[in-house]
């Protein structure tokens, strides 16, 4: 079955710690995205990547970092510099060629991060 997996489902972190959220897809998609969702809010783009070893900042990249060493993997690190990291984090991917905004996005189940 093709899809996107995110782990863990729930994550608790102490203030001042970095934490990495996993995102893996087996859809053979080139483009991958990380979004942040706060209660009652829309989806805000953190980072996105069109190809391996390349990624761009989204609208709220400060305090986050990513890597794209493999096509199927796009991990997100929430650093201690992120002032308010408690949120629901969604990973997505899309295929079908460029431009990516013309293609359907497939979302993973999300990771709920809570900072204690």
Interface residues with other proteins (CB under 8 A)?
31, 33, 35, 40-45, 48, 50, 56, 58-59, 90, 98-110
For residue 77, the minimal CB distance to other proteins (Å) is: 20
Closest distance to other proteins from the beta carbon of 8 (Å): 15
> In this complex, which beta carbon is closest to other proteins, that of residue 80 or of residue 103?
103
Nearest distance from residue 16's CB to other proteins, in Å? Answer: 28
Contact 84, 69 (CB under 8 A): no
- CA distance linking residue 96 with residue 81, whole number of Å: 35
Nearer to other proteins, 16 or 99 (CB): 99
Within 10 Å of residue 91's Cβ, how many Cβ atoms?
26
In angstroms, what is the minimal distance from the CB of 27 to other proteins?
13
* Cis ω before 99 (30° cut-off from 0): yes
Residue 17 or 96: the one with the smaller Cβ distance to other proteins is 96
Strand 10-13 relative to strand 111-115: parallel, antiparallel, unpaired? Answer: parallel
Contact 113, 100 (CB under 8 A): no
């Amino acid at each position: 079955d093709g899809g996107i997996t995110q782990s863990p489902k729930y994550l608790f972190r102490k203030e001042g710690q970095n934490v990495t959220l996993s995102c893996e897809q087996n859809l053979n998609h080139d483009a991958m995205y990380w979004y942040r969702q706060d209660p009652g809010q829309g989806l805000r783009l953190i980072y996105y990547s069109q190809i391996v070893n390349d990624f761009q900042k989204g609208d709220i990249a400060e305090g986050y970092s990513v890597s794209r060493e493999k096509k199927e993997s796009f991990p997100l690190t929430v650093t201690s510099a992120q002032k308010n990291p408690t949120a629901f984090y969604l990973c997505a991917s899309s295929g079908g060629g460029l431009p990516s905004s013309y293609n359907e996005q497939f979302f993973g189940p999300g990771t709920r991060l809570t900072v204690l």
